[in-house]
Structure 1
Amino acid sequence: MRAAPASRHDVRFRLLFVCTGNICRSPLAERLTRSILGPCPALQVTSAGTRAGAGTQMTERARRVLVRLGGDPDGFGSRPLTPELVAAADLVLTAASEHRAESVAAFPPAATRTFTIAEFGTLAGSVPPLAVICHEDPVRRAHTLIGEVRARRGLVRVDQPDIPDPYCGSRLAYRAAGRRIAKSLAVPLGLLTHSRVA
């Protein structure tokens, strides 16, 4: 029997990162986000893969890139994407457009809260910071940011929405993926962690 999905009330905001194998791009994004947000019980950050098995570690090159970026790879284990995971997420950020399409196909109502990582970062860059950081509560900030970003979809040009898969690639390919992820997340995570303006 399939276990029931966790209640939306036990964690106030869920962010889900998605890639293919859940051993390179999405765990990089997950663990980097956790390191930037710091201890914040109201925000839960996880990841999954559209073709992932269960319990696989990050690739060694992904681990090294993550450590260079300030994240911690210890204890990570991959998991497959399920409709329940998508349904429970308040925001789904994917490595590429194909993962965005598969996430929405798994749970169509998530279409309005599913973006690629690079797309979300670009759109967040056009959001007036005060629209988000005026709120003290991190959950309210997160929901406000999603609403602001959603309103800009189709209005702000996103030239490169996908982050190429570095799997089986060179160290440079992994570093490039890590840099794109970090750059794309810099603005949205900065808005979530910025000290409130008086």
Structure 2
Amino acid sequence: MGFRVLFVCTGNICRSPIAECLARAALGAVPGVEVGSAGTRTVAGVPISAGAREVLVRMGAEVGEFVSRPLAAEMVVEADLVLTATRRHRGDVVARAPGAVGRVFTIGEFGALARAVPEGLVVRFRGAEERGRALLAEAGARRGLVRVGEPDVVDPIGRSGRVYRAVGRRIVAELSVPLRLLAGGTESVRG
């Protein structure tokens, strides 16, 4: 069955594809983890933005023929963990699938919560599915107890390459601990 992570932003052409591709690069050799992304206000088939593609290429992540997918309630229900670009996206996701509220976080929020989880509570599990469930439980238990500086990742669409690179670095920083823990403490996100 595995552990499914879904990244969500607005158009599914900048932030969520950056997060998806970086997660795939970091977790590519880890069996049992499935990564995807979608947009709250998009149509199917829109190519990734040129700025996002450039950031991913610079970071060594493979982009392939990525195209956008609209977010559907079924995607949320099937995901074990949903990481959104902003609090507004988190609200949109929960509105589509209210039962998922305990599994939906912003990327910034989940990064802060994961940094507060003692590594041994997660990496002691052999499989990625068990590690993912342990990480989700431990992070969720710290919700409201851990200070989250800035939970939102800014939208770079229509902005400079510098803004896209800053968004890429922010996503790498926030995902580094969660992805390392999912990988069993042996892998890290490229940056």
Query: Normalization by structure 1: what TM-score?
Result: 0.91
- CA distances 1:48-89 after superposition (whole Å, capped 9, x unpaired): 000111011111110010111221111211010011111111
Please show how residues 41-80 of structure 1 align to structure 2 within 5 Å.
41-80=31-70
Q: Deviations over 1:121-148 (max 9, x none)?
A: 0110010000001111111000000000
Alignment partner of 1:22 is 2:26: no
> SS at 2:105's partner residue?
strand
SS in 2 for 1:64: helix
Q: Which residue, out of 169, 180, 185, partners 1:190?
A: 180
- Determine the C-alpha separation between the residues in 2 that align with 1:97 and 1:72: 28
Structure-1 residue corresponding to 2:143? 153
Tell me the SS of whatever aligns to 1:18. strand
> 92, 113, 121: which one pairs with 1:123?
113
CA deviations on 1:9-29 (whole Å, 9 max, x unpaired) are xx4221100000000000000
Q: Does 1:34 align with 2:24?
A: yes
* Number of the residue aligned with 1:171: 161
Runs of 4+ in 1 over 2 A off after TM superposition: none
Q: For residue 44 of structure 1, give the secondary structure of its aligned residue in structure 2.
A: strand
- 1:5: which partner in 2? none
Q: Mind listing any 5+ residue stretches in structure 2 that lack a counterpart?
A: 187-191
Q: Please provide the CA RMSD for this pair.
A: 0.9
- Work out the CA distance in 2 between the residues paired with 1:128 and 1:41: 23
1:75-131 Cα shifts (integer Å, max 9, x gaps): 211010011111111100000000000000000000000000010001100100000
| Equivalenced residues, count | 185
2:38 alignment partner, SS class:
strand
TM-score, structure 2 normalization: 0.94
1:101 pairs with 69, 91, 99, which one? 91
Per the TM alignment, residue 38 of structure 1 is displaced from its structure 2 partner at its CA by 1.1
**CA distance, structure 1, for counterparts of residue 57 and residue 130 of structure 2:** 30
The 5 A counterparts of 1:72-91 are: 72-91=62-81
| Largest Rg, 1 or 2 | 1
SS at match of 2:66: coil
Q: Which amino acid aligns with 1:119?
A: E
Q: Which residue number in structure 1 is paired with residue 189 of structure 2?
A: none
Residue 134 of structure 2 is matched in structure 1 by: 144
- Deviation of 1:41 after TM superposition, in Å, equals 4.4
Name the SS of the counterpart of 2:35 in structure 1.
strand
Higher normalized contact order (CA 8 Å, seq sep 6+, divided by chain length): 2
